[in-house]
Amino acid sequence: MKLVIDARFTRTDHHDGISRYGSSLIAATARIADVTMLISDPRQLALLPDVPYVMVNSPLSPRELFVAGRVNKLGADVVVCPMQTMGTWGRRYGLVLTLHDLIYYEHPQPPGFLPAPVRLLWRLYHKAYWPQRLLLNRADIVATVSRTTEALMAKYRLTKRPVRVVGNAPQPGQEPRDPAAGADKSLVYMGSFMPYKNVETMIRGMAGLPGITLHLLSRITPARRAELEALIPSGAMVQFHNGVTDREYVRLLSRATALVSLSRAEGYGLPLVEAMSLGTPVIASDIPIFREIGGDAVSFVDPDSPEDFAAAVHRLADADLGDSSEWAASSRLSVARAADFNWDASAKALVSAAEEVVAARQRRKRNS
């Protein structure tokens, strides 16, 4: 079976969530299947595994409407897209499209990096569910990254197609920290600064956390940074990094008291799993997807309460150091939880879904 996986959503400088998901899934799947990637910019190769590739148009180009004509020539049995927007007119191959979450129906502000016309279409698209149904029903199978999103898709009847979970996972080969070594008085946040991420509550909570530094790692626009800086309580220590390398990210995580996320909505929550895999405890908002991912390894807090957030930090930061401390116990529990998520399992789930697509198409062909 020949798989083509769409890698055109890979960034050219540093990974975002979709970019890392696609790249990691390609690397793991290529170890067990015949995989070719689609790219639209040679610079994407720097963040992709060494897998055969074909150049086609950008997924944001008007030519996307006709991309299936190019892909047909590759002889793929199944094409996998880590998004749901791939052009399909005239396709002659099996297709797996991916829906990560339903965040933007409740929080419709589009990502700032999209061109203005696309942002307008984005807002219009998320005003109703029927456009999503049209997109997803073009696939043979729809993939998603969590049981939480799978349940929401069923609730809103987003597709008639089978839905299969192909989960996210941390990067392989990370060595967990020594729980007995304790931690710096620091907190790490990795994620965007869009309103639904609720960084505001986190910053307000720093009023009750003297001596502890909150590291905000992701890139941020000057205007958004100014908005958040205006909220920093007097005397609180909040550091904006405006982007970090993977190595810097791991270094900061490996010394932090906790990774923190008070997001009001997520499709998965990859930073939680990345932190847990290193043995870094997690403090997160009490929402269904974080419950699914974190289980009993995460300290859950009310996302509307800066005081609740600060109290959870104190329970970890004020713990006595040593192998029997509360912090050390949380660190070990985090590592055990993270072991439930790995890319090899995700790749097997994807290949199984692709085989299901091929079998169904063969049955339809025999019966036609």
User: Is 80 exceeded by the pLDDT of residue 320?
Assistant: no
Residue 3 CA, distance from chain mean position: 22
Place of tokens 């932190």: 275
Would you call 5 helix, strand, or coil by DSSP? strand
CA distance 5 to 65: 18
Question: Which CATH architecture describes the domain 2-169+342-367?
Answer: 3-Layer(aba) Sandwich (3.40)
Per-residue confidence (pLDDT) for residue 174, from 0 to 100: 82
Alpha-carbon distance of 93 to 149, in angstroms, equals 26
Residue 112 — very low, low, confident or very high, per pLDDT cuts 50/70/90? Answer: low
User: If you average pLDDT over residues 69-90, what whole number do you get?
Assistant: 96
**DSSP-derived pairing of the beta strands 141-144 and 186-189:** unpaired
Q: Determine contact, residues 345/28, Cβ cutoff 8 Å.
A: no
Q: What is the pLDDT of residues 89-100, one digit of tens each?
A: 999 999 999 999
Mean pLDDT over residues 268-287, rounded?
95
How many Å is the Cα radius of gyration of the chain? Answer: 21
Mean pLDDT to the nearest integer, 196-213: 96
Q: Where are the domains of the chain?
A: 2-169+342-367, 179-338
Mean pLDDT for all residues in the chain: 92
Residue 321 pLDDT > 60: no
pTM, entire model: 0.86
What's residue 110's pLDDT?
66
CATH code of 179-338, in short, is: 3.40.50.2000
Mean pLDDT, rounded, for 56-74: 95
Do the first three CATH levels of 2-169+342-367 and 179-338 match, i.e. the same topology?
A: yes
- Contact present, 54 and 36 (Cβ < 8 Å): yes
Structure token pair of residue 367: 């019966």
pLDDT tens per residue, range 331-353: 999 999 999 999 999 999 999 99
CA 84, 274, 149, 345 torsion-angle sign: positive
Cα–Cα distances in angstroms (integers) from residue 82 to residues 38, 40, 95, 135, 218, in the given order: 12, 15, 11, 13, 22
Confidence at 16, pLDDT banded by 50, 70, 90:
confident
User: Of how many residues is the chain composed?
Assistant: 368
Angle at 268 between CA 262 and CA 218, to 5 degrees: 55
